[in-house]
Amino acid sequence: MGSLFHWKVTCTPAAFAESSRRLSNPDRGFYYIYGYRITDEPVDYATDLRDRTREDDATRLGMMQINLREYRTGAISEEGLSNVRQLFAAMADSDKKWIVRFLYDWNGENEQYEPENLDIILQHMEQVGDVLREYHSCIYTLQGLFIGNWGEMNGTKYTDPDSMRELAARLADVSDASTFLSVRTPAQWRKITGEAAPDGWTENPLAKRLGLFNDGMLGSVSDYGTYSDNTRQDAGDFSAWTREEELAFQDVLCSSVPSGGEVIVDNPYNDLENAIADLKTMHVSYLNEDYDRNVLDKWAGTVVNTDDCYDGMDGWSYVERHLGYRLWIAGAALSHSFWADTVEVNAALKNSGFAPFYRQTKVCVSVTDETGAVCYTDEWEEELLKLSGGNEDDRELALTGTIPIRGWESGTYRVYINLSDADSGEQILLANEADATENGYCLGEVAVR
């Protein structure tokens, strides 16, 4: 290329529309539960987990429940720790990110299996820390604090604020700083962090990582003990509030940290219209595929009535499409700046999903010539977390940049934008009708003469 200055440049933006297609994107969607009881006996975890997940090729998340009841009276043995490490190696070799829950009970009889001394649980956290840090890239969130029936933080003597704070601080300390943690209720979140509201909490390192999981989701007016009949004014900042107040709390909190769980018990709160409203407000990213099948089947048998591309879709499919983030390009503009001889690019991005994409995202813009060869690339710094989805699914984020074209030979060029997970490099598929290419999504053409 020489120093050509272009007197005639024509910019033609592409047309964009949202699609209802299913997207296989990381860190979102339905999941199945897998579990192992750790003992001193050798196990071929690589083969066993591969066999157990063989038919599960439609989900990008899985839950791994790791039962440590064998070691309730003392330290995890060297053999047990070796088995934990081999299990995580098998998890990292799968095609999934993992919701990881350490626990001592699978039967709702936690008092029989949980260590009688808090120090033993803290020691177990310390012991598995090296593994959590080594395999942090395959962990989506660490769910719970090792305690309670089914690891759900109920039916345990360690729910006093001091114990929960000590457990949460230890788990945060031994795990990688990039790993999300999650606790069962908003009230527990407030007790652990000492924050009365999510507003202004960003200076708290633990609060930045601590999300929620709700395994009583949409099950009753209280979500089976998640909420209470008391208002915040009557209950105080660090106890459970009414459903309406706690939903408003989650709307703010889970715009920054993930939320998920399982829906239970067929009742009016999980009728499809009511469910969608609350899943939006809670910014739910993941749900159990197996439980409660009565609720999930009810959604599958209900038709969505909307004025968009999802009209007529069954409710289960609608929820599956919207769990987590669902980014799409709503429009683009390309314009030539004559004296600078540059092309100004503007792409309007929306998120119609229930939740944002919580990880750092890489935004790459590239240009191809008439042969399809890439002749220009650039990275744009954008904070996609601003697109929180949910009740703000109409919000647009303008991705803008400038492409210098001086020196380009005459011809027609295509401008592409590509979004990817900054850590893994995996492309984020967008919910547009146009298919992605290896360069991303075409924003339009630039003809130079």
**Closest residue by Cα to residue 356 from 268, 253, 217:** 253
pLDDT on residue 201: 56
Q: Which 8-state DSSP code applies to residue 351?
A: E
Residue 381 banded pLDDT, cuts 50, 70, 90: confident
CATH assignment of the domain containing 413: 2.60.40.10
Domain that holds residue 362: 9-20+326-448
User: What is the pLDDT, as a whole number, of residue 399?
Assistant: 95
Between CA 383 and CA 361 the distance in angstroms is 8
Give yes or no: residues 246 and 367 share one domain: no
The CA-atom distances, in angstroms, between 369 and each of 305, 364, 375, 443 are 43, 17, 7, 14
Residues 12/447, Cβ–Cβ less than 8 Å = yes
Q: Is there a single domain that holds both residue 301 and residue 332?
A: no
Assess whether 386 and 295 both reside in one domain: no
Q: Are residues 244 and 363 in the same domain?
A: no
Assess whether 170 and 81 both reside in one domain. Answer: yes
Q: Is residue 2 part of a domain?
A: no
| Same structural domain, 268 and 367 | no
What is the reported pLDDT for 352?
A: 98
Instruction: Report yes or no on 34 lying in a domain.
Output: yes
In a domain, 3, yes or no: no
Average pLDDT, the chain: 96
Tell me which residue has tokens 């969608």: 276
The token pair at 374 is: 């890439």
Is residue 1 one of the residues assigned to a domain?
A: no
> Token match 């159990």: residue?
288
Residue 291 reports pLDDT greater than 70: yes
User: Residue 28 forms beta bridges with which residues?
Assistant: none
What's the CA angle centered on 381, arms 376 and 383, to 5 degrees? Answer: 140
Mean pLDDT calculated for residue range 230-254:
97
Q: How many domains does the chain have?
A: 2
Q: For residues 259 and 391, state if they share a domain.
A: no
Mean pLDDT of 190-197: 93
Which pLDDT score, from 0 to 100, does residue 1 have?
A: 45
Interatomic CA distance for residues 296 and 314, integer angstroms: 11
Is the CB of residue 445 less than 8 Å from the CB of residue 413?
yes
Mean per-residue pLDDT, 337-353: 95
Tell me if 206 is assigned to some domain.
yes
DSSP secondary structure of 84-95: HHHHHHHHHTSS
User: Half-sphere exposure of 121 toward its Cβ, with a 13 Å CA cutoff?
Assistant: 27
Same domain for 297 and 331, yes or no, is no
Written as one letter, the residue type at 262 is E
Question: Would residue 247 count as lying in a domain?
Answer: yes
Residue 233 lies in a domain: yes
Domain shared by 340 and 312, yes or no = no
**What are the residues facing 362 on neighbouring strands?**
420
For 276, the token pair is 């969608």
pLDDT > 90 fraction of the chain, expressed in percent and rounded: 94
Final residue of a structural domain among 267, 299, 322 = 322
More confident residue, 144 or 204: 144
Query: How distant, in Å, are the alpha carbons of 273, 310, 325, 403 from that of 306?
Result: 11, 7, 19, 39
pLDDT of residue 357 exceeding 60, the answer is yes
Q: Alpha carbon 276 to chain centroid distance?
A: 17
Q: What is the pLDDT of residues 40-87, one digit of tens each?
A: 999 999 999 999 999 999 999 999 999 999 999 999 999 999 999 999
Spell out the residues 6+ positions from residue 261 whose beta carbon is closer than 8 angstroms to its own: 213, 214, 215, 216, 217, 284, 286, 287, 288
User: Of 297, 322, 347, which closes a domain?
Assistant: 322
pLDDT at 143 over 90: yes
| Final residue of a structural domain among 322, 340, 369 | 322
What CA–CA distance (Å, rounded) separates 142 from 67?
A: 14
Q: Is the pLDDT of residue 3 over 80?
A: no
The strand pairing partners of 342, in sequence order, are 337, 404
**CATH assignment at residue 277:** 3.20.20
Q: Spell out the residues 6+ positions from residue 397 whose beta carbon is closer than 8 angstroms to its own.
A: 348, 349, 350, 382, 384, 386, 387
Is residue 119 domain-shared with residue 262, that is, in the same domain? yes
With a CB cutoff of 8 Å and minimum separation 6, the contacts of 114 are: 72, 104, 105, 121, 147, 148, 156, 157, 158
Give the neighbor-by-neighbor strand order of the sheet with 397-404.
327-337, 342-351, 397-404
Same-domain check for residues 274 and 307: yes
- Regarding pTM above 0.85, the answer is yes
> CB of 141 within 8 A of CB of 211?
yes
Both tokens assigned to 206 = 């633990």
* Of 153, 159, 39, 144, the residue nearest 100 (C-alpha): 144
Cβ count within 10 A of residue 232: 17
313 and 330 in a single domain? The answer is no
Does any domain span residue 392?
yes
Strand 9-13's sheet: what is its strand order?
9-13, 441-448, 411-421, 361-368, 374-380
